[in-house]
Amino acid sequence: MLTPINMQALATRLAGLEEVKGRSLWADARRRFWRNKAAVAGLAMLAICIAFAAFGQAIAPFSYDFIDFNIMGHADELGRPSLTYWFGADDQGRDLFARTAMGVRISLLVGLIGTAISVVVGTLYGAVSGYLGGRIDGFMMRLCDIMLSIPFMFVLILMLVMFGKSLSVLYLSIGLLSWPAMARIVRGQTLTLKAREYIEAAQATGVPTTRIILRHILPNLLGIVVIYATLLVPDIIITESFISFLGLGVQEPQTSLGTLISDGAKAIYYDTLWQIGFPLGFFLLLMFGFYFVGDGLRDALDPKER
């Protein structure tokens, strides 16, 4: 029987309880991820790329803009991959090992920074839109639709031409143009989360709104955000490479994978295949790496798959 005194005791005991530590979603996901061979292989590919981007320029015998005038114009004979030029040299006589390392670094940076911007903007926008609902939601999503139906690549090129072809403009404009897809995903997830019993329970027990969002909604959004962020990075790298391939992105003597592939693609008529082979190899390594890791994360984190 619950007498008022018992109730009081129960209430004080309940109030004094620490939050229960459950088996977290993330520990679960981690276990599932490590069991997925393709995902681990993808992670290894990414690790290789990141290590190469971080240390490649430091261990390269030449700097990325050093020009060897002996090789200039004779890359097909003198610029072959060798003990001095590990990845060969391009037709301007520059070391491709250092340049590829720089290219991987810049492509990775653009991918990560662009994704970070788009994740922050998209998650905030989507969560606010989904949580507030009603007319505000309708208006915010209509704006999203308008953004999505604008030909992204053309506007991106427009922005680059208008504000100058610099790296920071590239980061910003890619990030600022690619958030609507993320916002939509986050909004959808927020809507389903809002209707869950545990949110209702939290509301019923009087947990303040900000705490509901922080403790219950955001952690549950995190899974889907991480998955789509991982899949967004290669997308943005492709976008950046596309732009750089056209000569509208990263400017000389700096370089990115797109610029290197573009140079290499022009050089295939002169039989200097190492010029396209090495950058392309790392590009594919990055793409496959992110693809497999993203896929593995989806399997590990997607609650629907249990």
Partner 1 sequence: MLTYIAKRLAVAVPTLLALIVISFLLMHAAPGGPFTYEKKLPAAVLANLNAKYGLDQPLWRQMISYVWGMVAHFDFGPSFVYKDRTVNEIIAQGFPVTFQYGGWAFVMAVVCGIGLGVLAAIFQNTWLDYLSIGISIGASVLPNFVLAPILVLIFTRWLGWLPGGGWEGGDWKHQLMPILAMGTAYMASIARIMRSSMLEVLTQNHIRTARAKGLPTWKVITRHALKPALIPVLSYLGPVFVAMITGSVVVDMYFSTAGVGKFFVDAALNRDYAVMMGVTLLAGGLTILFNLVVDVLYAWVDPKIRY
Residue 273 is given by DSSP the state T
Residue 18 is given by DSSP the state P
Per CB under 8 A, does 259 bind partner 1? no
If the CB atoms of residues 123 and 241 are measured against partner 1, the closer one turns out to be 241
Per CB under 8 A, does 66 bind partner 1? no
Q: Which of 27, 161, 201, 214 binds partner 1 (CB under 8 A)?
A: 161
Q: Which of 136, 150, 201, 214 binds partner 1 (CB under 8 A)?
A: 150
Q: Which of 79, 180, 264, 296 binds partner 1 (CB under 8 A)?
A: 264
Q: Which of 10, 124, 146, 214 binds partner 1 (CB under 8 A)?
A: 146
Angle between helix 274-301 and 37-59 (nearest 10): 140
Q: Residue 263 Cβ, how far from partner 1 at the closest point, in Å? A: 10
Tell me the per-residue interface mask from 265 to 294 with partner 1, x by CB under 8 A, - otherwise: x--xx---x--x---x--xx--xx--x---
Residues near 305 by Cβ (< 8 Å), separated by ≥ 6? 298, 299
If the CB atoms of residues 121 and 238 are measured against partner 1, the closer one turns out to be 238
Per CB under 8 A, does 159 bind partner 1? yes
Among the listed ranges 48-56, 73-81, 102-110, 154-162, the one in contact with partner 1 (CB under 8 A) is: 154-162
Nearest-angstrom CA–CA distance, 53 and 37? 24
Query: Considering only residues 173-212, where is the footprint of partner 1 by CB under 8 A?
Result: none
Identify which of 250, 221, 242, 244 has the alpha carbon closest to the alpha carbon of residue 119. 221
Counting Cβ atoms within 10 Å, is residue 88 exposed (0-12), middle (13-18) or buried (19+)?
buried
CB 232 within 8 A of CB 118: yes
Q: Which residues of 197-221 are buried (b: 16+ CB within 10 A; e: fewer)?
A: eebeebeeeeeeeeebbeebbeebb
Among the listed ranges 64-72, 127-135, 141-149, 221-229, the one in contact with partner 1 (CB under 8 A) is: 141-149
Per CB under 8 A, does 261 bind partner 1? yes
Q: Residue 162 Cβ, how far from partner 1 at the closest point, in Å? A: 4
Q: Residue 48 Cβ, how far from partner 1 at the closest point, in Å? A: 16
Nearest-angstrom CA–CA distance, 64 and 103? 10
Nearest-angstrom CA–CA distance, 55 and 112? 18
Angle at 140 between CA 208 and CA 131, to 5 degrees: 20
Residues within the interface to partner 1 (CB under 8 A): 142, 145-146, 149-155, 157-164, 234, 238, 241-242, 245-248, 258, 261-262, 264-265, 268-269, 273, 276, 280, 283-284, 287-288, 291
